[in-house]
Amino acid sequence: MRRLRTGLVGIAALAALLVPVQAAAADPGGREAPPRGGQPFFKLGHSKTKASAAARRAADHTVTIHGIDAGGTPVAPLGTLIDPATGVEYPLTESGDALTAVVPAGTYSLTNIVLTGAAYDPSNLALYGNPALTVDDDVELTLDARTATEIQAVSPSSTATEVHSHAQIVQTIAGQDISTIVSGRPDVGLRAWPSASTTRPYHFVYAETQAEPLSTPPNPRVYKMVFPTAGQVPSDLTFEAAPESLALVNTTYNTQGVASTEAGPHSVIADVQGVGGEVLGLTHPAVAPGTQRVYYTANGVKWRGSFLYKVGTVQVNERQVAPRTYTAGGTYSEAWNKAAFGPTMKVGHGQGLLLGRPAIADTGQPGHENFGGNYSAGLTGTLTLYRNGQQVGVSTNPLGADWSVPADPASYRLDLSLTRNVAWSKYVTKVTGRWTFPSTEGPDDPFDNQRHLLQPRVSGAFDSQGRAPVGTTFPLDVVVQRPAGGSAVTLTSVEASFNDGTTWTTVPVTASGTDRWTANILHWWPHNGYVALRIKATDGSGNTVEQTVIRAYGLQ
């Protein structure tokens, strides 16, 4: 049986957002990639089609590229030389301060990076692109980084400074998106040389995050700016973000009752529509509780983010499930670690296995996933699977389990039971949950293709510490998300407890939309400072959920 992979796999994948780009592999004719643990500052794009030995023997012209770094030292650049008509890449060989290739006469796409300093610790990276290098005789070029132009962005704030940046050349050749990226930060500058223009798919994209100091009152401004240019590397490499081109997202960073001990990264990836290539990660620091005004380049860019809420050595990761788009000039809102907290459950079913993957203390906000409960320290419990009423197995790891099951259709039930005692969160100290669902083995990898079950999500006007006011009737917004293929949902009951589940009170609910209700809960005295929630729901497709969360949110 395959090794268990829990929900924390999602966190590992998102960690890629916290560094500029993926590390480049060692490049023939270039310097070594950053070592493991080093900071990756470049990615050199290659074609999958390499020149054959016969093609190299038939070549009769030599292309030589010399490099000089920003300090005036001769260095061999990194580079690729590709035939844009066929996608064939010709090898570049390093010798001293030069790269050389032997190619037939023709037109080529040449891309180079001139590094100043070590690959894993540069002080400057200069990007060169020529979409149509004509080779009808021997060609010799010198790329002197001192003659390249600094790339920079200008935001509407005079006090915002660069956090980090990327410059990317992305081109489509023989059906392949080939991207070369260099990444910078305040102590690592980016430069480029303007290029000739071309009508084939060839784009230059510059992206930069700027942020005001976290102490800026009343809440600091952050700018996530993306500037695409079609057909060439432009001659003007200072990009100005006009206020009317941006969308404002008023962003709130909530806590799970314990303030962050240091700033954590709010990271987003930018997908420039119609360009292709690599998505670009832009990160800025944020503290919880806290608020920021985050401005995004709006039209033509999709954004998807994550936030690491840091308490001591613990990093509580939450991510957006789907990308967001914004309209220039629009105002939006976004919240992280939004109460109430409770479990959600995913399953994967394929290749003879059924997987259960709970997120123990998920957010109350649809469209987000919070892996804050998925740490084994301070957590004990079980996850049990039943098939057609018969127990399949019990896992003493409540973070997830894998079971071997027959492929034919059946009715399944997953029971979750756990207790939790951690210093970094005041919520979700005990959970019991039961999900029933029909399932048939699918053709996909169950580890990679997982689906949600019937799932309550509870939110409301909580404060930044996940608390609601006492002595008043407080409306809870209850959304029950349907599983794939599920039918209309019936909310069977909502109950609340103010003494960690010793006694329960039925909460009146009214329908407020499809699969959505308002539960008007009276926060009364006496209480222990917390509210437990017990929710039951069902649909007409064989899906049910019953879950009890002790300390789903707090009272103030």
The model's pLDDT over 416-430, given as tens digits with 9 standing for 90+, comes to: 999 999 999 999 999
Q: Which helix (H) or strand (E) holds 14?
A: helix 9-14
- Whether residues 326 and 366 fall in one domain: no
Q: How large is the average pLDDT for residues 523-543?
A: 94
Domain end call among 318, 336, 354? 336
Characterize the bridge pairing of strands 152-154 and 238-240.
Answer: parallel
4 has pLDDT over 50: no
Query: Which of the four pLDDT bands, split at 50, 70 and 90, describes residue 186?
Result: very high
Q: How large is the average pLDDT for residues 310-320?
A: 94
Characterize the bridge pairing of strands 410-420 and 368-370.
Answer: unpaired
Q: Which helix (H) or strand (E) holds 54?
A: helix 53-58
Domain end call among 321, 336, 351? 336
Kindly report, residue by residue over 264-307, the tens digit of the pLDDT: 999 999 999 989 888 899 999 999 999 999 999 999 999 999 99
22 has pLDDT over 90: no
Q: Backbone phi, then psi, for 389, in 5-degree steps?
A: 85, -5
- Whether residues 131 and 241 fall in one domain: yes
Q: How large is the average pLDDT for residues 371-380?
A: 91
**Residue burial 85-117, b: 16+ Cβ < 10 Å; e: rest:** eebbbbbbebeebbbbbbbbebebbbbbbbbbb
pLDDT of residue 183: 96
In whole angstroms, give the CA distance from residue 116 to residue 134.
28
Kindly report, residue by residue over 438-461, the tens digit of the pLDDT: 999 999 999 999 999 999 999 999
In a domain, 2, yes or no: no
In a domain, 224, yes or no: yes
369 has pLDDT over 70: yes
- Whether residues 220 and 178 fall in one domain: yes
Kindly report, residue by residue over 125-149, the tens digit of the pLDDT: 999 999 999 999 999 999 999 999 9
In a domain, 3, yes or no: no
- Whether residues 46 and 77 fall in one domain: yes
In a domain, 502, yes or no: yes
Residue 26: give the domain boundaries: 9-336
Higher per-residue confidence, 2 vs 140: 140
In a domain, 4, yes or no: no
pLDDT of residue 27: 43
Query: Which of the four pLDDT bands, split at 50, 70 and 90, describes residue 488?
Result: very high
In a domain, 1, yes or no: no
Query: Which of the four pLDDT bands, split at 50, 70 and 90, describes residue 120?
Result: confident
- What is the model's pTM? 0.90
Q: Of all residues in the chain, what percent are helix, strand and coil, respectively (each to 5)?
A: 5, 55, 40
pLDDT of residue 39: 53
Non-local CB neighbours of 257 within 8 Å, separated by 6+ positions: 425, 426, 427, 465, 466, 467, 554
- Whether residues 164 and 231 fall in one domain: yes
In a domain, 16, yes or no: yes
Kindly report, residue by residue over 244-263, the tens digit of the pLDDT: 999 999 999 999 999 999 99
In a domain, 421, yes or no: yes
- Whether residues 188 and 258 fall in one domain: yes
Domain end call among 268, 302, 336? 336
Q: How large is the average pLDDT for residues 307-336?
A: 95
Higher per-residue confidence, 9 vs 297: 297
Please state, for a pLDDT cut of 90, what percent of the chain lies above it.
87
Kindly report, residue by residue over 25-36, the tens digit of the pLDDT: 334 344 444 433
- Whether residues 398 and 438 fall in one domain: yes
Domain total of the chain: 2
Asked if 450 contacts 348 with a C-beta cutoff of 8 angstroms, the reply is yes
Query: Which of the four pLDDT bands, split at 50, 70 and 90, describes residue 342?
Result: very high
